[in-house]
Amino acid sequence: MAFLAAALAAVLEAVPQESGVSVRLQAVSAAGNGVVWVSGLEGTYVLSADSGKSWRAGVVSGAEKLELRDIHAVDQHTAYALSSGTGDQSRIFKTTDGGASFSLQLVNPDPQGFFDCFDFWDKEQGLLYGDSVGGALALFETSDGKTWTRLPAERLPAARPGEGGFAASGTCLVTVGESTAYVGTGAGSSRVLRTRDRGRSWDVFETPIAGASGTSGITSLSFWDEENGVAAGGDIASSDGPQANVAILSEGGRSARLAASPTFPGAVYGVAHVPGTSPPVLVTVGPHGASSSDNLAQSWMPLSEESHWAVGFASSEIGWMVGPEGRITRLEFRRLPLHDFGLGSRRRW
């Protein structure tokens, strides 16, 4: 058995897929059992029920001019979609019939508001994060999967001037376990907000990711348990060279160490971990490429030179990256004998 273990190597393979659309895709969410939902510009969604072997595209009625920058998959029939934009361009939609129809659940009530991302603990209970309004952080909750209520300002940490988020990949807010959630802030800040009681109370921690300018901060989070994860981002207005844009988080965000930059220049728009890997294999994506790491971001390997905006995994074996021009790239993580060093897009450790 020892010999067999030593004779195996981990392989991450990137395989292009046909989405059937040409718009920029910005978010991906896997529900398990082969179900994957993707969303993008012009109210576009793309759905697969067979782990990406085939895709079916559609447009949310009434959202043809909106940017669906986040999506949450419940199952093959049910998903939530979030549009981002100033004021009433920020909305939440829900389908329960596989995309045949969508109901409008929430329109941003503030003309200056801007929705960034959302996530759910289960099929009905979730949180939404948006840019601060009137000097107060903007978070909304749902407990029934139908109605949304803004959290009272007195429950939340005080907002910094201009503090908000980036609707880059729909992963600036992530839920973990039964009641924990994390928010990564940006636009003048790079803090991590944490709740352990579904939004009733919050802690706030600083990170070493640059956040001083209005175009920098945290764009994406991924946690492999309730205490440990990764934050990524940087300056979205700069595409020159590496940035100090990845931090490994521990102690529930209380401790953060700056990690190595991915192999591509500019900001990271999305980060995810491969479930079930130890240490967690990380994948980062951005407008200038994609990278992977198997050593908690001490170093990175190039995965793609193409632009991707979001990444997510369904299991320890399969995930997807999405991006401009309808791009969907399937990621297959597997272990192969060391002598099987196929060329192409495979990355080996």
Q: What pLDDT sits at residue 342?
A: 47
What would the mean pLDDT of 154-173 be, rounded to a whole number?
96
Query: Which domains does the chain possess?
Result: 15-333 (2.130.10.10)
Cβ(269)–Cβ(219) below 8 Å: yes
CA distance 217 to 219: 7
**Alpha helices in 228-330, H assignment, sequence order:** none
Q: What pLDDT sits at residue 213?
A: 83
Both tokens of 1, joined, read 């058995």
Q: What pLDDT sits at residue 9?
A: 45
Using CA atoms, how far residue 142 sits from 93, 164, 329, in Å, is: 13, 20, 32
Each residue's pLDDT tens digit, 114-128 = 999 999 999 999 999
Given a cut of 80, whether residue 165 has pLDDT beyond it is yes
What would the mean pLDDT of 100-118 be, rounded to a whole number?
98
Q: Tell me which of 4 and 22 has the higher pLDDT.
A: 22
Both tokens of 257, joined, read 């160490």
Give kind and range of the element (H or E) at residue 4. Answer: helix 2-6
Check residue 172 and report its DSSP letter.
S
Given a cut of 70, whether residue 151 has pLDDT beyond it is yes
Amino acid type, 282:
L
CA atoms within 13 A on the CB side of 101: 1
Given a cut of 70, whether residue 10 has pLDDT beyond it is no
Per-residue pLDDT band for 242 (boundaries 50, 70, 90) equals confident
Each residue's pLDDT tens digit, 170-226 = 999 999 999 999 999 999 899 999 999 999 999 999 999 987 788 999 999 999 999
Rg of the chain (C-alpha set): 19
Can you give the pTM of this predicted structure? 0.93
Per-residue pLDDT band for 337 (boundaries 50, 70, 90) equals low
Both tokens of 4, joined, read 């067999």
E-strand spans in 264-326?
270-273, 282-286, 289-293, 301-304, 310-313, 318-323
